[in-house]
């Protein structure tokens, strides 16, 4: 975290359970102009999820929390709509 973020009041907008997912969510929010970061007690030495030790909190400045929550909700809604779409038609070899 930057020193600027350390001095701000932060709000958790999402909890994930892997460093990869945290990196994706933080990157997505930053691309949307939100000063997001990840905070955790995550210990990769544990092969299983161990309660709060497996939680990674996505945090944003409190004044950006409403925007971040809206952005995440819109993204999840778009994914849900896309998953409702019929699968593409199967094309066998040689057919166009």
Domains and CATH numbers, the chain: 3-74 (3.30.70.790)
pTM equals: 0.71
Q: How far apart, in whole angstroms, are the C-alpha atoms of residue 13 and residue 64?
A: 10
Confidence of residue 82 (pLDDT cuts 50, 70, 90): confident
Q: What are the start-end ranges of the H helices in 2-92?
A: 3-6, 19-31, 65-83
The whole-number pLDDT of residue 13 equals 98
Q: What is the mean pLDDT of residues 2-24?
A: 85
Give the Cα separation of 56 and 36 in Å (integer).
13
Cα 77 from Cα 62, distance rounded (Å): 23
pLDDT score, position 1: 46
Convert the pLDDT of each residue in 18-75 to its tens digit. 889 999 999 999 999 999 999 987 665 555 555 566 789 999 999 999 999 999 999 9
Pick the closest to residue 38 from 67, 2, 1, 75 (CA basis): 1
């Amino acid at each position: 975290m930057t020193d600027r973020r350390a001095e701000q009041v932060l709000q958790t907008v999402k909890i994930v359970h892997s460093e990869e997912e945290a990196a994706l969510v933080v990157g997505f929010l930053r691309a949307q102009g939100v000063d997001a970061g990840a905070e955790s007690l995550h210990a990769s030495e544990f092969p299983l999820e161990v309660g709060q030790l497996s939680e990674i909190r996505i945090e944003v400045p409190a004044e950006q929390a409403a925007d971040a929550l809206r952005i995440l909700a819109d993204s999840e809604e778009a994914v849900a709509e896309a998953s409702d779409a019929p699968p593409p038609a199967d094309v066998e070899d040689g057919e166009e």
